[in-house]
Amino acid sequence: MKWIKKGQIFMPNGEFDWMNSYTTPIAAMLLEDRIRVYFSTRSKLDVNGNFISYATFIDLDKRNPKEIIHINNKPLLELGSEGMFDEYGIMIAKPVIVDSTVYLYYMGWQRLAGKAPYQVMLGLAKSFDMGMSFFKESKGPVLGIDTKDPISIGNVCVLHEDGLWKMWYTSYIRWSFNGIKPTPEYNIKYAESRNGVDWNKTNIVCIEEDEKGGIATPSVIKKDNIYHMWFGYRPDYSSDGKVAGYSIGYARSIDGINWKRDDDNSGISVSNTGWDADMVCYPHVIECEGNYLMFYCGNGFGETGFGYALLEGGELCNH
């Protein structure tokens, strides 16, 4: 398959104090008359060089996704109070619409005082106005650390099929300290739920880390009984000061559990020049009026914002 790049859509540029830079990561939701793209943005650095991540969204024209209809002018969710899992940042993972309720899974950030700089767990918020405003399901995470995932949780993708909720989530395996800064290494695991809130971790690894580096940020769709997954992968940070960028990988599956990885068929890579010449990351694929769109971030882990690509021919590869 091949994705035809359509260009950059949006890059924060200090529009608000809380929306100073970055779109890291992104997740799109198809509405009747528009595409709503949720993303996470960073505040200005404080005196200690730290930032806070906030979640918001922009609306795009379904017929021309490069046309911005609306930019939300305030954070979607309040940060957690002192000691809570989302005290220092909220990052978007996946919106799911079920019976006119939007379930928004998000990552909450907590800073750590040791060699590992942070820890992430998964929260859930709900919207009853089709994603304009959200209320947290609970003060604590719906997917956290435990004996199966002892370090941290990363980005996820969730599908709701015939009453069963299926989740592919990023699990931290270890922290590496060989480069210029600590590097998390991870793989992608599978979990299930009957209500979208209480999750059963199967501890099944769907996409294992390999010599290409950590595997993260899955985006899964199902078409003609075949599951398709795009995800990011990257090596550790190097010791010479260079930060290697993400690439986008691909895999497919009959049952959503056992996957055949085929990165050469992901259909997208970096450009020769421009906003995505060094990195393509955080893919999110949706079907829109007979076409498949991939929204993705560019250089610097989303520092240059996000754009989109259109699947050539409109057909997914099922073999």
Q: What is the pTM of this model?
A: 0.96
* CA 43 vs CA 15, 16, 40, 104: distances in Å: 10, 8, 10, 21
pLDDT score recorded for residue 214: 81
DSSP string of 149-176?
A: S-S-EEEEEEEEETTEEEEEEEEEEEEE
> 20-266 has which CATH code?
2.115.10.20
Among all chains, which residue has been given the structure tokens 């949780």? 153
Q: Is 227 exposed, middle or buried (0-12, 13-18, 19+ CB in 10 A)?
A: buried
Tokens linked to 144: 């956290």
- What is d(CA 299, CA 316) in angstroms, rounded to the nearest whole number? 27
pLDDT tens for 8-55 read: 999 999 889 999 999 999 999 999 999 999 999 999 999 988 999 999
* Residues of the chain with confidence (pLDDT) below 70: 211-213, 237-244, 318-319
3-class secondary-structure state, position 194: coil
